[in-house]
Structure formats: structure tokens, C-alpha cells
Structure 1
Amino acid sequence: MKKTLIHGLSLLLLGLLVVSCGRKTERSSTTNWKYNDQKWGGFEKLDYEGQATGPNLVMIEGGTFTQGLTDQDVTFEWNNVPRRVTVSSFYMDETEVANIDYREYLFWVLNAWGSTYP
């Protein structure tokens, strides 16, 4: 009796496992329509393939750090409360450009092209 019960439960679990591994189609959480189905208008959901890195850009890895006072505050002013900050990864140009250099460039563009610059 005990073996029959164990065999029956194991077959039931195996059947549930096989059924749950079937091909699933993605559906919208808002409308419950299937993506990429002509019957529902053919709304396409494409896989994101990433973005090509621009020329002369360097990847800056993100991370977390503690911003603010990390040592003991002897004066108890608490004007610089520590916070945990997360910075996302981003790209930065490998060439440093100061604000004055960029303003000179804009001035040159205005003088060279005037109002005809697209």
C-alpha cells in the first residue's frame, strides 16, 4: 500500500513536471495578449541586443559607496549624515574636455557657420 502511494505520487509529480515544462508564450501583463501574434495585431516584442559602444568611449564600472561622514562625529552636529549610494555603470569619453574648451568650440561654430549651421 505504501509503495503504491509513493509510486502514484511520484508519477503525479513527474506528470506535473513534464506539463509545466511545455513551451510558454510571452504575454502582456496588462492586456494578456500574446506577443508577436498576428491574431492580436502582431505587436512585436523584440529581444534587446544591446547598443554599440561609441568611438573613444571608456566603460566606467558602477558600484556602491558610503557618501557622507564615515568616522565618528565628535561634535555631534550630524550635518553630514552617511548614506549608501549606488552609481550605475556609464560610458565616458577618453579625452578630457574642459567647459572653457567647449565654449570656445561653440563660439567658433557660431562664427564659422552663423545661422546656417544645421
Structure 2
Amino acid sequence: MPTLPVPVLTVGLLLLSNVFMTFAWYGHLRFKTASLVMVVLVSWGIAFFEYVLQVPANRIGHGHFSAAELKTIQEVLTLSVFAVFSVLYLKEPLGWNHLLGFGFIGLGAFFIFHKWG
């Protein structure tokens, strides 16, 4: 059975984990009438699957990526998933200021991943 390269597997698992975590953290915003206790419990249930994906992603990726690089990948994916989620699920537009801010975070990722020297 062919195995996926470490970067592909790591980023893929982190991407999927971010989808679950975005729903856990923000999905309940469309259900304002649901009790807070209920949305916390449902969010915990969804977050479990985020951990099932993220912990192996970090374990598999560490060594190929540094911890700082793994965190950077996580944050860039988090913003990317959130941007899509915000527009498609929450029906909230992203303004130029959001995009500019996300761009600066992307610029920060460039500085982390660029091989200096």
C-alpha cells in the first residue's frame, strides 16, 4: 500500500482537523436559541474529532517540520478554513481589512518557512 509523503499527510490531517474545530467553535452561532449547555456539549463532541486528527498530524509532521512550522501551518489553515466557513456557512462577508490582515499572517508564514542564510 503506497504511503503519502509526510507533508501531504500532515497538512491534510490538519486541514480536516480545522474543519471540525471551526464547526465546534463557530457552528453554534447559527443556533442562538439553543441552550449554552447544549452547544458546549455538542462543541466538545465535535472537537473530539478535531483532536483525533490534529494530534496524529503533529506527531507525524514533527521532525519533517519544526514545532513552529507546524503551528504556522495550523494557523494559516485555520484562517483559510474560517474564511470559507464565514462566507458560506455564517453568510458573513469578509472585507478588505480581513483579507489584508490574513495577508499579513501569510507574510509571517513566509518568514517562518523561508530558509535564511
| TM class by smaller structure | under 0.3
Question: Which of the pair has the greater relative contact order for Cα pairs under 8 Å at 6+ separation?
Answer: 2
> Which of structures 1 and 2 has the bigger CA Rg?
1
Instruction: Name whichever structure is richer in helix by fraction.
Output: 2
TM-score by length of 1: 0.19
